[in-house]
Amino acid sequence: MTAPCTGAARAYADLVAPTDTVRARTLEVGYGAAPVCAPVSFALRPGKAVALVGPNGSGKSTVLRAVLGLLAPMSGTVTVLGEPVDERRATFRRAVASVLDDDAWFPALTVAEHLDLVARGHGVAEADAVVDELLEDFGLWDEAASLPTALSSGQRRRLLLASAFARPRALLVLDEPEQRLDSSMKEALAERLLAEKASGVAVLMATHDPDLVSAVADRAVLVGEEESPVLSPTQAVAALRSTPA
């Protein structure tokens, strides 16, 4: 029979609860001596989506960087799949797909070759079929043989997003995925993220898009100067509409 949890043991069990894909507790992040925003706390479960919202420069991308292990927390904790974040672990890298606000390309690989490389590098069995589907869904079919330098900025953004779906994932971390997408592609992205959730993937995204929050998010965190409670999507949409990006 299992002994009842003591306070400390319960706190630890809570911290590593396997039901949470991401858990941030009074997480403080920054680049110098001072944090860029108030501490952030949230839990993200499989099949759910959390949106980080807040004005430009409020610290959303910095929080995402800490969740991805690209920046060490100044204080507080962040765990992914019950473990402290460590992007050097193969299990972490296998589980976490991300799209940040950066363009990183192999200059001599075409659009289709980029997707193929990501899929095969992650051991996807039916790589050809996955690549074909992504080219179609992200409107890149006509650009399959193009080099990244020959793409428009919106097409490059589509390729970055498509790359995140070319590989296995338990957690998707997206920094303003709506950027540079036209309205029909934004709708398609929202539908895709709903399908991801339905298949058990957890989605953590920073966004300024009320429609995306409304369609996809289960909870939101207002990142900023004051420690914010977790918001409902309706509250987050109201905050987005009242605060200019």
Positions touching ligand ATP (CB under 6 A) are 31, 36, 54, 56-62, 206
Q: Closer to ligand ATP by CB, 54 or 148: give it.
A: 54
Task: Report which of 41, 40, 17, 20 is spatially closest to residue 30, judged by C-alpha positions.
Answer: 40
Distance of closest approach, residue 27 Cβ to ligand ATP, in angstroms: 13
CB 88 within 8 A of CB 54: no
Which amino acid is located at 161 in the chain?
Answer: L
Q: How many Å apart are CA 223 and CA 200, to the nearest integer? A: 26
CB of 144 to ligand ATP, least distance (A): 30
Q: How near is the Cβ of 107 to ligand ATP at its closest, in Å?
A: 24
**Nearer to ligand ATP (CB atom), residue 7 or residue 244:** 244
The CA distance from 48 to 53, in Å, is 16
Separation CA 103–CA 218 (nearest Å)? 29
Q: What tokens does 155 get?
A: 């097409």
Q: Among residues 145 and 245, whose Cβ is nearest to ligand ATP?
A: 245
Q: Is 148 or 224 the residue whose CB approaches ligand ATP more closely?
A: 224
In the complex, the smallest distance separating the C-beta of residue 179 from ligand ATP, rounded to whole angstroms, is: 9
176: left (phi over 0), alpha (psi -120 to 50) or beta: left
- In the complex, least distance from residue 58 CB atom to ligand ATP, rounded to whole angstroms: 4
Q: Could you tell me the two tokens for 205?
A: 């995204």
